[in-house]
């Protein structure tokens, strides 16, 4: 079991690595043995993560990608295959948040569609095809959210400047369903496709408002928000050989929020 949970020698591409979750996940995937390629719009944004990983003896590199451009995603896959021989895992962690609030102009919604829907579609389609052409197949993990599973609770945000945006709920729910779609289409080709749905993540660099934390924490069974590294375990499991019979699932990592 210890061996099957390791990512030793697996070539994993993580799309989006500069955010709160992406930085923790990249560190953890590389630490459990992945040959990790962080794909970022601007690789300079993840240069520190690559340097720190290498310093710690991990195998980690960066490639550039624009997930809204089919040629760019295809070029990423080709670069990874020619440098590393294959691609065993892909973690879709990118997200764009262009809408300022509930009643934002249509432009924000359209920009969200362009990155979050088009980008997800291109990455799923092209990575699934690339993995299907390999004898060993592969594993895809989509970072969704508990906000793709339940509606917003406006009471959580009362008395703060925080709030929710409609596109996020739309894309995160759609991502869970698209996960099932691709899992069903590619299962016989040994490509597994799963989702992980984190709950709210505490941001130590820019802590959420006290009034929000007081209410949100009570909505979870564990009485607190997640710390970013607490999301990595489910992602490692789904990329690893410990989950070879797991596909089309969505694992909430939300402290029990969506089960209440």
Q: Which strands make up the sheet holding 89-92, listed edge to edge?
A: 59-64, 35-40, 11-15, 89-92, 138-143, 191-198, 250-253
Q: Catalogue the active-site residues.
A: 157
CB nearer to ligand NAD: pick between 10 and 41: 41
Beta carbon nearer to ligand NAD, 96 or 240? 96
Please, what is the minimum distance in Å from the beta carbon of residue 169 to ligand NAD? 11
CB of 260 to ligand NAD, least distance (A): 17
Question: How far apart are CB 99 and ligand NAD at their closest, in Å?
Answer: 13
Smallest gap from Cβ 2 to ligand NAD, in A, equals 28
By CB under 6 A, name the binding residues for ligand NAD. 16-22, 40-41, 65-68, 93-96, 115, 119, 143, 145, 198, 200-201
Enter the tokens of residue 3.
Answer: 């061996």
Q: Which is nearer to ligand NAD, 137 or 216 (CB)?
A: 216
CB 67 within 8 A of CB 126: no
Would you say 9 or 163 has its CB closer to ligand NAD? 163
Which contiguous run of DSSP H or E holds residue 39? Answer: strand 35-40
The CA distance from 10 to 178, in Å, is 24
CB 248 within 8 A of CB 194: yes
Question: Up-side HSE of residue 192: CA atoms within 13 Å toward CB?
Answer: 21
In angstroms, rounded to a whole number, what is the distance separating the alpha carbons of residues 153 and 164?
A: 9
């Amino acid at each position: 079991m210890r061996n099957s949970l390791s990512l030793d020698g697996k070539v994993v591409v993580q799309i989006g690595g500069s955010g709160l979750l992406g930085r923790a996940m990249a560190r953890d995937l590389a630490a459990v043995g992945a040959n990790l390629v962080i794909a970022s719009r601007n690789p300079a944004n993840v240069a520190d993560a690559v340097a720190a990983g290498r310093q710690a003896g991990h195998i980690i590199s960066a490639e550039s990608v624009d997930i809204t451009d089919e040629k760019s995603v295809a070029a990423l896959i080709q670069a990874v295959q020619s440098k590393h021989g294959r691609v065993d895992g892909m973690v879709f962690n990118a997200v764009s948040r262009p809408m300022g609030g509930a009643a934002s102009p249509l432009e924000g919604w359209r920009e969200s569609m362009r990155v979050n829907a088009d980008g997800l579609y291109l990455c799923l389609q092209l990575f699934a095809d690339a993995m299907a052409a390999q004898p060993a197949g592969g594993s895809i993990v989509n970072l969704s959210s508990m906000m793709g599973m339940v509606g917003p609770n406006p009471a959580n945000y009362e008395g703060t400047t925080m709030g929710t945006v409609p596109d996020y709920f739309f894309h995160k729910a759609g991502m869970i369903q698209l996960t099932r779609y691709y899992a069903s289409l590619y299962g016989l080709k040994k490509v597994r496709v799963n989702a992980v749905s984190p709950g709210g993540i505490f941001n130590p660099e820019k802590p959420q408002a006290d009034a929000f934390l007081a209410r949100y924490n009570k909505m979870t069974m564990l009485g607190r928000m997640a710390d970013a590294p607490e999301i990595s375990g489910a992602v490692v499991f789904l990329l690893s050989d410990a989950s070879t019979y797991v596909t089309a699932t969505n694992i909430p990592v939300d402290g029990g929020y969506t089960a209440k």
